[in-house]
Structure 1
Amino acid sequence: MTHYLDHAATSPPTREVLEAVWPYLVQVTANPASVHTPGQQARDGLERARAAAAAALGCRPGEVVFTSGGTEADGLAVLGVAPAVVASRGRERHLVTTAVEHAAVLEPARELERRGWRVDVVGVDGEGRVDVAALAEVVTERTALVSVMHANNEVGTVQPLAGPGGVAELCAQRGVALHVDAVQSAGVLDLPGLWALGSSAGGVAAVSVSAHKLGGLRGSGLLAVRSGTPLEPLALGGGQERGRRSGTVDVASAVGLATALAGAAARREHEVARLAGLRDRLVAGVLRAGAAAGVDVSLTGAAPGAGRLPGHASFVLPGLSGELVLAELDLAGVACSSGSACSADSDDASHVLLAMGLSEDAARTSVRATLGWSSTEADVDALLEALPTALARAQR
């Protein structure tokens, strides 16, 4: 039996999702754009999913654009919204983002730079939190788009988007559209509250979500785009999704995403408390094991209870190989990771940890354990039981 502690990479689909999508895999299988009865049945399922997803996000159904996942949703925001704002609102070709964003934002940002855009990448503090004062120095009323994630996938730090002096307020005051990558926060943070941090005049204008991080199906996501926010489609063809994203929509995946979002929203208060309890016990146990083994284990990211995702724990183990520790844990039936699954095959040190001020050597020792809907006390027990041996073997 494997004890799975890598929910930031992906979570298994929930039973309610599997039951919800099954009819759309074997019974209601027509193209939702077709005008015949089977097509309209599929269309009805798609629009019900859109309405349910919108209710969980706090937006309108017509503001939901289904995508193939969080990566496409991020790309659609950066490469679709930003140029459209320039074309329709006369803004400068200027994008502002942070040094700890996912590659799904940073790579499109680099593409804009190759097209002649000015891209400002703002730094973070030692916990991975964006410097809002530094952000304020580069965001102007002429900026096309600001993109700041809700919470970081590698260290779990929640960004200061809300409240006085937050990123959303800054963007609203300057009339600038803000895109938020909510791939890691969906299901555990307040997405309707996030959506409320914007209007047609500025602030939160687009939010990206991925289904498989919260119990939906892989290859499914959405971009919520506020009414009035211009958007240039990246995929051209049949004009689906109101011309914003061409291609036959995968109804089953959309139903799965909506079901996962609705279920997570209904259980959020209880689930956040449960995950935070598991995380706190995990963090305390890992730090104790490190001290007992003579390893200076340090928690990376914000402290538990101080702006950190409830199911997220990440560490560096100076002097050890993080990959070797992970391999030893895997042999013991415990699955953790070293950071972003999207860059797991890269030899480069984590750009997130480097931006936080860690050395390349320290950044290469990272270990991440993340919890989700299927996590139990037994999973934490298994990690804490296997860790002392893994640390001892990694020191040989």
Structure 2
Amino acid sequence: MPIYLDGHSTTPLAPEAMEAMLPWWHAQAGNPHSPHLRGMLASQAVENARAELASFIGSDQQELVFTSGATEANNIAIRGTAFAALERGIKRRGIVVSAIEHKSVLSSASALRSAGFRIIEAPVDESGIVDTSVLEQLVSHDTLLVSVMAVNNEVGSIQPLSDVVHIARTIGALVHVDAAQGLGKLSFDSADFDFASLSAHKMYGPMGIGALFVSSATHLRPLPVLFGGGQEAGIRPGTVPTPLAVGFGAAAKVSRTRFIADAAHSRALSALFLEELRSRQVRFIENVPEAKRVPGSLSLRFTENDAMSIIAKAGDRIAISEGSACTSGQITPSHVLLSMGLTQQQASETVRIYFSRYNSAADAVEAAGVLSEIVSR
């Protein structure tokens, strides 16, 4: 198996999460919304998981709504809030997002234009960080919602959320943060936001489940964008998948105790990897400097080398990616890299790498050797 360095897309599943999930696939399987014994046991397991996740982000467990992932959570936070504003007769029609948001944020916001909302994109600097001086000019008393991610999913740039919150609060706007890429990598305080989108598979949990934090203090709760049995406080209908929720909770519990160690480990491996590349005289450019990116994250441009060609040649030895995995298959430059000022040619030379909890120093050295061979050829 190739060395897995595509952690911005999906981190490896924590063994603790796998072990916690196993009984709920078969021996203890039950619908957590059913009144019989198995159902009640499943319901308790789901609530225990919700409590673990709440403890991790500093929220009350009743403020967390399980979803199928961060994409659905983003849709509910943006579209559901806009629909709630329309229903309540709130006149604000402005939604401000950063230019490098995940496609699920950008597309959710864009779809609201037909309902009369104005969608404004805030620019970022050359390091992929939202320009707060421009953001301050873009928000107004017509702004309903400001949505800025915690960490960019392609280049790892850390966003100045405290400044974003201050700007939004000054004019009375709601704040949504897509925290999928930052959860488990950066400290996170849910009390700062109205809404926050979370993803299990970005923090060593299972794929197929996420959550939306909805602050109990917010004055506008989002309406559901799907309709059904009214589960999850009426915001997200559908049967909660017990095994996945349990795995999410177990991953959160582990991350709570390993957060500082994980960051140090990932930072050390990425530094070793870069040192190994330099020792081999490999020419590369870091798109985001170390001080401005999440530990372990690298966005590297290998000049005069096509990223897709590098990835294809490295595929049987190391797993890396370019652009956003959610838009793979589309032969278009990354909107994130273009927003940072890179040309289409420069964007096509960029790969993204992430060193996770389960990578080793040997992985970093071997990966540098593999890329050295490919790029030199």
Q: TM-score range by the shorter chain?
A: over 0.9
Aligned pairs for 1:325-336 (under 5 A) are: 325-331=310-316, 333-336=317-320
Structure 2: how far apart are the matches of 1:78 and 1:57?
A: 21
Residues 150-207 of structure 1 show CA distances to partners (whole Å, capped at 9, x for unaligned) of 0011111000112xxx101112222211110111111011123xx232xxxxxx1111
Pair 1:78 & 2:87 matched: no
Q: Tell me the CA shift for residue 85 of structure 1.
A: 3.3
| In 1, Cα distance between equivalents of 2:279 and 2:225 | 50
For the 8 Å contact 1:208–1:222, the answer to whether it is kept is: yes
Paired position in structure 2 for 1:168: 165
Partner letter of residue 178 of structure 2? D
Question: d(CA) in 2 for partners of 1:328 and 1:46?
Answer: 43
Q: Distance in 1 between matches of 2:72 and 2:13?
A: 20
* Alignment match of 2:184 (pick from 170, 187, 192): 187
Work out which of the residue numbers 356, 362, 372 in structure 1 matches 2:346: 362
**Of the candidates 298, 312, 324, which is equivalent to residue 285 of structure 2?**
298
Q: Give the AA of the match of 1:35.
A: P
| 3-state SS of 1:65 partner | strand
Question: CA contact under 8 A between 2:127 and 2:292: conserved in structure 1?
Answer: no
The equivalent of 2:241 in structure 1 is 250
Give 1:232 deviation, angstroms. Answer: 0.5
Identity of aligned residues (%): 35
- Structure 2 residue 334 is matched with structure 1 residue 350: yes
CA gap 1:56/1:89 in 2 versus in 1, 3 angstroms: farther
What secondary structure, in the 3-state scheme, does the structure 1 residue paired with 2:323 have?
A: coil
Task: Supply the AA of the counterpart residue of 1:271.
Answer: D
Is 1:338 matched with 2:307? no
Letter in 1 for 2:249: A
The answer to whether structure 1 residue 218 and structure 2 residue 207 are counterparts is yes
Are the counterparts in 2 of residues 85 and 230 from structure 1 also a CA contact under 8 Å? no
> Matched residues in 2 for 1:357 and 1:266: separation?
38
Shift of 1:9: 0.9
Q: TM-score, normalised by structure 2?
A: 0.96
Instruction: Give 1:353 shift.
Output: 0.5
Structure 1 stretches lacking a partner, 5+ long = 198-203
For 1:340 and 1:371, locate their aligned partners in 2 and report how far apart those are by CA, in whole Å.
17
2:270 matched to which residue of 1?
Answer: 279
Matches within 5 A, 1:142-161: 142-161=142-161
Q: Is 1:372–2:356 an aligned residue pair?
A: yes
The one-letter amino acid paired with 2:277 is V
SS of the equivalent of 2:161 reads coil
Q: Quote the Cα distance in structure 2 between the aligned partners of 1:274 and 1:66.
A: 30
Alignment partner, residue 385 of structure 1: 369
Deviation at 1:288, TM superposition (A): 4.8
Offset of 1:287 from its aligned partner? 4.6
* Partners of 2:304 and 2:275 in 1: CA distance: 20
The superposition leaves residues 24-79 of structure 1 with CA deviations (integer Å, 9 ceiling, x where unpaired) of 11122221111122111111111111111111111111110000011111111111
Match of 1:196 in 2: 191
- Answer whether contact 2:191 2:215 (CA < 8 A) is retained: no
Q: 1:261 to 1:89 in 2, by over 3 A?
A: farther
TM-score of the aligned structures, taking structure 1 as reference length: 0.91
Higher mean alpha-carbon deviation, 102-111 vs 78-87, is at 78-87
Instruction: Give the secondary-structure state (helix, strand or coil) at the position aligned to 1:170.
Output: helix
State the SS of the aligned residue for 1:231. coil
Name the residue aligned to 1:321: 306
Partner AA of 1:346 in structure 2: Q
Sort the Cα spacing of 1:324 and 1:212 in 2 relative to 1 into closer, same or farther, 3 A: same
Of the three residues 231, 238, 244, the one matched with 1:240 is: 231
Shift in alpha-carbon separation, 1:287–1:117, aligned structure 2, 3 A: farther
Partner residue, 1:14: 14
User: How far 1:322 moved relative to its partner?
Assistant: 1.0
Q: Size of the alignment, in residue pairs?
A: 375
Please give the secondary structure, in 2, of the residue aligned with 1:389: helix
Mean CA deviation greater in 364-373 or 109-118: 109-118
| Local SS of the residue matching 2:112 | helix
Whether 1:209 aligns to 2:198 is yes
